[in-house]
Structure 1
Amino acid sequence: MKDKFSTTSQFELSRRDLMKNIALAGTAAAVLPAIGVGPAYAADPVVHGYGVTTAQLKDWSVMTKSIGVQMDFTGTNNSVGVFLRDVVASQLGDKVDIYIFESGTEDILGPQGLYLKIDEDNPELTLWKRTPDEWKRSEVVKGKDGVQYGVPVIGNADSFGYFPDKVGANPDGMEELSWSLMFDSDKTRGRVGYDQTWTYSIGPAALYLIGQGKAKVADVADMTGPEAKVVVDFLISRKKAGQFRTLQSAFEEQVQLLTNREVVVLNCWEPAVREANKALGDGTTRYAYTKEGYFKWGHGAYIASQAKDRGNLPAIYKVLNYFLGGEYRALQARDRGYAGPNMDLGVEYATKQGWPEADIAALKATEQKVARKFAKPFVSTTTPTNSSAIEEEWQRFLNA
């Protein structure tokens, strides 16, 4: 039985050329959310987007007021298999202008001609030159073939949420904690929530074992089968020891587990901690700085190749440039805790808009937080070359 978050089948299909399997279109289209298309792209300043929901603004009308372009965005989850199926089998580029997803897809869909190369000299992309190379040239948006397929949108370094008073940590949340609290601690045994998706979970376990000198892994983002086996053997032993209270897989579950205090440690997304604290009180839960490293990720925005013939590339590039600007950066940092390129423009925007000093200070803190976290390993990919081997090992953990 395959993990429901499987990447293997779609990834391997792509390697053999997904375009030859377009017969899947009928099945895929049947489950794809309806996406509307305006009758005249050239006259209607609407850009159609499809991708991960975390990249959305809570209110796209803010962007419309700023740049005069509307966004019609359809969200999907973070399953790379679903994303690849929708883009390829359903020929989604016939309706969608911009895709937003995590690193990895540009190495598959870019060379196949489904993503346009970014025109770095487009007159609407005014913030490109001032965007740091660590963002715009990162492996999130630049293909392994050296082609610039995407524009950076947001990024973060994921770790775990925890209750400082339950694990004996400083309540200010600034100290570095070990992943041992997740995997190998008597004080947290039976009170840990662990993500059942290997994309998020096997890497941090590997980081912990490397830090303990119990495993040697050449590339945490793309472990070999034997390397993954060592990590999974350890996880199975911890599972049998009762370390994990539950395996979770959705953002809503993360928030619920923390809000209900069902766990004291939970590997989760940072917004889950923020949402839990809205119910529990600021600072009740914290998001960890870690000793060993993080699940570092980034989202890129990619232009569907079909968009070049629709006449709305100027509007598309206005949106891409907006992702690099201060308004989007400030709102995402405030509402979700995510950083991205040109954080200084976010601070500048908030200051000009008269945001409270506390919110401006929080933006500066987000910039410092991400810089601190990004100094540690590892950068993830949704499409590791050894995904089949990793997934086979992960199934042993789920079935143990």
Structure 2
Amino acid sequence: MSAPTTTGRISRRVAGIAPSATLAVDAKAKAMKAAGDPVIGFGAGEPDFPTPEPIVQAAIAACSDPKNHRYTPAPGLPELREAIAAKTLRDSGVTVQPSQVVVTNGGKQAVYEAVLAVVDDGDEVLLPAPYWTTYPEPIRLAGGEPVVLSTTEDTGFRVTVDQLEAARTERTKALVFVSPSNPTGAVYPRDEIEAIGRWALEHGVIVITDEIYEHLVYDGHEHHSILAVVPELADQTIILNGVAKTYAMTGWRVGWLIGPDDVVKAVSNLQSHLCSNVANVSQRAALAAVSGDLSAVAMMRETFDRRRRVMHGMLNDIDGITCLEPEGAFYAFPNLTGLLGRDLGGETASTTLELADLVLDKAKVAFVPGEAFDAPGYGRFSFALGDEDLEEGIARIQRLVAG
């Protein structure tokens, strides 16, 4: 009997999910490094610091407590939901009830569950670009349509109300709003956030706001939660957040979603069938993180700030590269079009996708091409890596360009 064919076996929706370009670049760089190549990677979006020791100790203690060996409520440990509500008031000035919080397996699950809870077939979701690679995928998986709104250096990579209004149709259901931004490092000022919030309120547009980089802002720039600026949006705003970036806990996989009661009820029901509860030990670690002070965050932010200045200066010193100074997060997003079509080590690249491969092969430096963020011509460089590697990596590109 012949083996069954795979033609048509994979569903159209799952087959249509694009691979994560950021993880793909990081995986290729790590594979080359494991093979002995001296690769320096600017691709991964995670702090290079260890998780603060008090958080680790809380997890160690949790391992020995039998109550953490059993199922717990799908929306999260009650004490963690309460602590997240308190942290949201402390850090964002937004009052929420613990019952409005759902603890998720990392920020990505929060994104997926938020979208799946509110987007139906044919709904349009406004998605300013450049955007984090994951955002469009759950929109398509839910049967919705991402409506991409391009931004440029001229607007500081920030979308305008005029753009939003021009894109709005009777099918517009939601807006994905992110500040500070991955990949650009852009931070929206309060007045622009208020204008966008008022526009969403007027037209009944749900705002899905990702605030995971809230504590990583520099040079006097401030993070403002859209719900703190426009409290009237409470019934149509979903806040996404997590411990990954603030507390160097990417591997612990704890995020959360905060929303109106009906959204939280729907998400809790979805999660109960999807994965039950988030690992209890990770939840206990997250409880220690959000309940503690922000001293470790301040230390990391100071280090990121120093690296940000170094990377920004070095990138702009390379002939053919221009780069806005990042205002938040830990990414620079330089314009690399000046390198396209140029001889680089005997080869040329016509796109930044090709350029990323060329630079990885020739200079042993990995970055994420702008195509991953719907922004061809650019590249994302994380400055969440050691100072020596950062300077050496940019210097290698400089030497490659200089010939």
Query: Same fold, TM exceeding 0.5?
Result: no
Q: What's the TM-score, normalizing by structure 2?
A: 0.28
